[in-house]
Amino acid sequence: MENEFADRLRLALSMKNMSQQDLVNKTKIGKSTISQYLSGKYKAKQDNISKIADALDVSETWLMGISDEMTRNKLMSTKSPFGPDNEIEEYLCSKGREDLWQTFKSVSNNDSLQILMDSAADLTPEDLEPVLILVQGIRKSKGLE
């Protein structure tokens, strides 16, 4: 679908009985920017996708056309592909990396990053550690930690 983002944005607005102005008010994204998204002229970047998904209570991955599941946090209801959370927490804490456990939880609670986690299902906790270090570095560089 050529304008899948625009189509899904229009569908979500309609299903939530929201106007373009309602979305502007909830997201604080400019009206002209929202208009350009709806017309298919531009696709939103990740920060605005997150704001729009929050405002419409839909999955970011659905809004981007990656997933067919519109329901928010559907992916979060599944168990971690790396094993039970308590085992991951115990492993990281035993390595003195409690900070990585917090990063892991942050990644786990982000629909967009769930795709990364699903792709890495074969990783062991030892394999996972450098990935979490990388994510933590990115978060720090963006001032998120």
What residue ranges of the chain are covered by domains with CATH 1.10.260.40? 4-72
pLDDT averaged over 10-residue windows placed end to end, the chain, 145 residues: 81 92 94 93 86 88 81 50 68 78 70 66 74 81 77
Q: Which CATH superfamily is domain 4-72 in?
A: lambda repressor-like DNA-binding domains (1.10.260.40)
* pLDDT score at 76: 42
Q: Is residue 82 classed as helix, strand or coil in its secondary structure? A: coil
At residue 60, the pLDDT reads 84
Which pLDDT does position 88 carry in this prediction?
75
Spell out the alpha helix ranges (H) of the chain: 4-15, 20-27, 31-39, 46-56, 60-63, 85-94, 98-108, 111-119, 125-141
Residues 81/75, Cβ–Cβ less than 8 Å: no
CA angle 64, 27, 13 (to 5 degrees): 55
| pTM of the shown model | 0.53
